[in-house]
Amino acid sequence: MSISQSLFYFLAFCSIFFAILVVSAKNPVHSVLYLILTFFSIAGQYILLNAQFLAVVHVIVYAGAIMVLFLFVLMLLNLNAESEPQKSGILKFAGVIAGGMLLVVLVASLKNADAIQPKLAPNNQIGLVASLGKELFTNFLLPFEVSSILFLIAMIGAVVLAKKESGRLDYKIED
Amino acid sequence: MNEAIRMVPLEHYIWLSAILFAIGVIGVLTRRNVIIIFMSVELMLNSVNLLLTAFSSYHSDPAGQVFVFFIMAVAAAEVAVGLAIIVMIYRNIHSIDINDLNKLKG
């Protein structure tokens, strides 16, 4: 077994292990920290796949931006293991069974799929900035520009939604 | 590192992505905290990203990696808006339990 193969299996084990911890951890802050570790092992997979640009973008966007946002919101809401709402045991069991059935269906349907032979010659340069940039600014120019509008909308939406409204009474649930 | 691709069979990437996706689905089904459900959705998006990158690398086609780039952009926008909604809900009803959100209906 070569070093890249053993690296793949090690990273795959890490990502699955930490992903299970994400959904099973009682404390939401621990969940976020495990999710960061999962994202780092997925970034390692990108490097193994010769997708260096994506690995860097993944670390910047997910570990740098999204997880900081999650942590900020968790700290802001002051959540901990005691305030964590829990589903009843039977509902949890049913959820795990349903997810496991989905996995079985996915594996069973893909097990007998025929592999398509690659049409293009092997090329380990496609994951670099030069080739992806060329593709992005020729074939995918319109989606690229549209995504900037999406970001503008998301930015305005986030600011408008999270802004404190003045002169409005707090709505409380009566139990 | 050049021989890293094609030493691992493509099927193993499919299994890995399927397992990560199923873990994300289980997280959505078994948790009641909105933020953890959100994180499980991120996990599912990442498993799909990984599979797209694997196919792109094995078939030497950069289009798959450009798709992953766009998915990351959409995920970032989605997280910003979603967390803003969660903060607003928490400010109004002082809870992020999804069972309390059924009170939204008229």
Q: For the beta carbon of residue B18, count every other beta carbon within 10 angstroms.
A: 20
Per-residue confidence at A13, pLDDT binned at 50, 70, 90? very high
Strand-pairing partners, residue B33, are B97
Measured between alpha carbons, how far is residue A130 from residues A99, A124, A136, B24 in Å? 40, 12, 10, 33
Q: Which of A114-118, B73-77, B93-97 has the lowest mean pLDDT?
A: A114-118
Within an 8 Å CB–CB cutoff, is residue B8 touching chain A? yes
pLDDT digits (tens, 9 = 90+) for A122-169: 777 788 888 888 888 999 999 999 999 999 999 999 888 888 766 555
pTM: 0.88
B 17-76 residues inside an 8 A Cβ radius of A: 18-27, 29-33, 35-36, 38-40, 42-43, 46, 49-50, 53-54, 56-63, 65-66, 68-70, 72-76
Q: What single-letter DSSP state applies at residue B97?
A: B
How many CB contacts within 8 angstroms connect chain A with chain B?
Answer: 250
Alpha-carbon span A150 to A161, nearest angstrom: 16
- For B104, the enclosing helix (H) or strand (E) is none
Q: Which residue of B has its CA nearest to A1?
A: B7
pLDDT digits (tens, 9 = 90+) for B20-65: 999 999 999 998 888 899 999 999 999 999 999 999 888 888 888 9
Q: Which residue of B has its CA nearest to A7?
A: B4
Q: What single-letter DSSP state applies at residue A59?
A: I
Within an 8 Å CB–CB cutoff, is residue A117 touching chain B? no
Are A54 and A127 contacting, i.e. CB atoms less than 8 angstroms apart?
yes
Using only C-alpha atoms, what is the Rg of chain B?
18
Answer whether residue B105 shows pLDDT above 80.
no
Q: Is A30 helix (H, G, I), strand (E, B) or coil?
A: helix
A 41-100 residues inside an 8 A Cβ radius of B: 42, 45-51, 53-54, 57-58, 61-62, 65-66, 69-70, 73-74, 76-77, 79, 84-87, 91-92, 94-96, 98-100
Residues of A in contact with B59 (CB under 8 A): 116, 118-120
ipTM of the complex in this document: 0.89
Within an 8 Å CB–CB cutoff, is residue A155 touching chain B? yes
Q: Is A69 helix (H, G, I), strand (E, B) or coil?
A: helix
Alpha-carbon span A31 to A22, nearest angstrom: 4
Alpha-carbon span B101 to A136, nearest angstrom: 40
Residues of B in contact with A62 (CB under 8 A): 42, 46, 72
Q: List all residues 6 or more positions away from B11 whose beta carbon is below 8 Å from its beta carbon.
A: A110
Mean pLDDT, rounded, of chain A:
86
Residues of B in contact with A100 (CB under 8 A): 22, 26
Residues of A in contact with B72 (CB under 8 A): 57-58, 61-62
Q: What single-letter DSSP state applies at residue A124?
A: T
Within an 8 Å CB–CB cutoff, is residue A135 touching chain B? yes
Average pLDDT over residues B4-10: 72
Average pLDDT over residues B5-23: 87
pLDDT of B1: 47
Answer whether residue A2 shows pLDDT above 70.
yes
Residues of A in contact with B34 (CB under 8 A): none
